[in-house]
Structures are given as C-alpha cells and as structure tokens.
C-alpha cells in the first residue's frame, strides 16, 4: 500500500514516516498542501494521511481537491479538534475518516487498513431500497436516479443499514462494522457520520429513509423511530 503523509510538523512527520515504513508501507511525505497535490498528480497513492492545520492551503481544501481529482483515494484526516462541527467539516470536505491527536500508532494502523479497503475490488452487486440504489462494486449511490457523492465510510454505513433493512442496527454493531471491535471512538463520531449521511441522502427527497432509534441505534425501513 502506498501512503502519502501530509504533515508540516517535522517531528510528527518523522515519527509517521518511520513507523509506516517499518510496517512495510511505501511512504511519501509532503510538508504543505500544494506539495501534497503535486505529489498526488505524479504518484499513485492508496491512502493520504492529511493534517488539518497546514501552512498556506489547509487540509480541508486539500481534501476537497483530492476528492475532485481522485475520487477513489482514501483520505484519513489528522486533527487536534474533536468538536462535532469540526468533524463534519472534515467529512464534508471529502475525508473518509478522522483521527484526533494524540493517537496511538496501533489505532492509526487500524484506520489505515480500514480506509485502504476501498481500493480492494469487490464482486459486482447492487442493493436497492425504495428509490435508493447502491452499487457495492464501485461504491456509487443513487437516489431517484441521481448520484449521491459519499465518502467510503458513509457508503459502508449506508450499505450496512440497507443490508439490514427493516431491522434496527445497534450503535455498537455499527461501530464494530465500520471501525473494528477493539476500536475506541469518540462518542460523537458515529453521530457525525449519520448526520452528514442523512443530509446527503435526504436532500430534496420527499421520503426520509434513515431513522434514529434513540439510545439504541439506526435503521432503514424499521418502525418505532424518533
């Protein structure tokens, strides 16, 4: 797997590059947003580790441009901010996931593996519910014939709900499916993904598909929702 590290802090960059190379990853380093975009043009990367606070062009703008240029690249955003509005800004910019500093290196590796799975080919398959269509081989989503642009994690969340249509999927089960059973995430991380996913899927649609079951979980097509 080829990884692009975008980090302006010299010590953090050294630790990340050294640690990833010891795990047998191919690693390139960019110290600012402009350099990251230039490298992304000339190289083939599976995952980008992207710091939010960068000199000049910040990580949010870099994520937006990466997503426009290379829609299938995995973007893992590194940030010191864990407030819900900051999380949503990062996801809205095109990040697949985010990791709050400071973090353990083992957790970072787990996140990289999860984000990197988006480049692994899957058997052709189509899931449908009402006017919602998911192409699981290409990670494309359509509602009423109009494509909805989702990040990889958003797609996996929606896929999980559609595959369990008519049933409530507990919060713990969603977290385990998306991030792994040993993964500890901030309490508002799942809520941020659901909020952003709901906004995209429900935009200009007459029917609201994603349902909240307060204190339990989420569903598509189940009853007794809040």
Q: What is the pLDDT of residues 26-59, one digit of tens each?
A: 999 999 999 999 998 877 888 999 999 999 999 9
pTM more than 0.75? no
- Residue at token pair 């710091």: 51
- CB of 36 within 8 A of CB of 18? no
Domains of the chain and CATH, by start = 2-119 (3.40.50.2300), 126-220 (1.10.10.10)
Instruction: Give DSSP secondary structure letters for 25-68.
Output: -EEEEESSHHHHHHHHHHS--SEEEEESS-SSS-HHHHHHHHHH
Tokens of 59: 């990580």
Q: What is the pLDDT of residues 177-204, one digit of tens each?
A: 888 765 566 668 889 999 999 999 998 7
Q: What is the pLDDT of residues 125-154, one digit of tens each?
A: 889 999 999 998 888 999 988 999 999 899
């Amino acid at each position: 797997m080829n990884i692009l590290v975008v980090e302006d802090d010299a010590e953090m960059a050294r630790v990340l590059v050294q640690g990833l190379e010891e795990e047998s990853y191919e690693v390139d380093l960019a110290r600012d947003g402009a350099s990251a975009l230039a490298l992304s043009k000339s190289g083939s990367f599976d995952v980008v580790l992207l710091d939010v606070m960068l000199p000049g062009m910040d990580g949010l703008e870099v994520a937006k441009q990466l997503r426009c240029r290379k829609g299938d690249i995995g973007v893992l955003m590194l940030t010191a901010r864990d407030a819900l509005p900051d999380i949503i800004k990062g996801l809205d910019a095109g990040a697949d996931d985010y990791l709050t500093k400071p973090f353990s290196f083992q957790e970072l590796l787990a996140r990289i593996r999860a984000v990197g799975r988006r480049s692994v080919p899957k058997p052709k398959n189509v899931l449908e519910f009402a006017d919602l269509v998911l192409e699981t081989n290409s990670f494309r989503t359509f509602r009423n014939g109009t494509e909805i642009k989702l990040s990889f994690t958003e797609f996996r969340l929606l896929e999980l709900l559609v595959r369990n249509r008519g049933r409530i999927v507990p919060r713990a089960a969603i977290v385990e499916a998306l991030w792994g059973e040993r993964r500890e995430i901030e309490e508002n991380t799942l809520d941020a993904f659901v909020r952003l996913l709901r906004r995209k899927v429900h935009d200009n649609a007459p029917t609201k598909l994603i349902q909240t079951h307060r204190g339990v979980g989420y569903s598509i097509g189940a009853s007794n929702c809040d």
